[in-house]
Amino acid sequence: MEPSNMKLGGGLEDRTRWSAEDCSIDAAMKVVGTRSAMLLMREAHYGTTRFDDFVSRVGISEAVASARLKELVAAQLLRREPYRQSGQRTRYEYVLTQAGVEFQPVLLALMQWGDRHLPREGAPPLLARHTECGSPLIVQACCEADHAVGVDEVTLLPRRNRRHASAHKDSS
């Protein structure tokens, strides 16, 4: 299988004429680009909510967990909710926001990629299945018309040109 690339269109073809300073991937990596942030998000998706559980399940120090959880809250992937056990002070748990829920395909895609491309002894430790029918999940790109899309079938365009192009079409 030959490697292929996404296509760049709408003036993006000449890479010397534009910069990716406002790149969405760069912005996302600033939030979840550390191992600890990704593993905290994994744990949040597994149902972990309490600080001490995040620390022990991810295997990071309290200081690192605190810093990353603050960043994830600031990025609105998690929100802090107060809880209080009888006789204890009020503490906070961390709950997924809608943006955090929408991060699930990223985690599943990383898991699927790791299962396929990072060798290990034996079978991968987890299998993601569709709860309703029991079939294994396949994370793949698809368009709004629900067509599976290969990497060589993707064209990236600058949004400003798309707006102008659609405005131009509508006026003709």
**Fold of the CATH domain 21-102:** Arc Repressor Mutant, subunit A (1.10.10)
Question: Each residue of 107-141: pLDDT tens digit?
Answer: 999 999 999 999 888 888 899 999 999 999 999 99
> Within 13 Å and on the Cβ side, how many CA atoms surround 81?
9
Q: How confident is the model at residue 2 (pLDDT cuts 50, 70, 90)?
A: low
- Domain boundaries defined on the chain: 21-102, 104-172
Confidence of residue 14 (pLDDT cuts 50, 70, 90): confident
Identify the band that residue 13 occupies on the pLDDT scale cut at 50, 70 and 90.
Answer: confident
Going by C-alpha positions, the residue among 148, 106, 142, 112 that lies closest to residue 129 is: 112
Average pLDDT (10-24) is: 81
Q: What would the two tokens of residue 153 be?
A: 């079938």
User: Is residue 67 packed enough to be buried (19+ CB in 10 Å), middle (13-18) or exposed (0-12)?
Assistant: middle
At residue 161, the pLDDT reads 45
> Tens of pLDDT along 73-89?
999 999 999 999 899 99
3 state SS of 64: helix
Q: What H or E segment, with its residue span, contains residue 48?
A: none
C-alpha–C-alpha distance, residues 107 and 25, integer Å: 15
Rounded to an integer, the average pLDDT of 5-13 is 88
If one compares 157 and 119, the residue with the highest pLDDT of the two is 157
94 φ/ψ angles, rounded to the nearest 5 degrees: -115, 125
State pTM to two decimals.
Answer: 0.84
For residue 11, pLDDT beyond 60? yes
Alpha-carbon distance of 80 to 70, in angstroms, equals 9
- DSSP state, residue 2: -
Three-state secondary structure call for residue 132: coil
Query: Distance (Å, rounded) from C-alpha 68 to C-alpha 64?
Result: 6
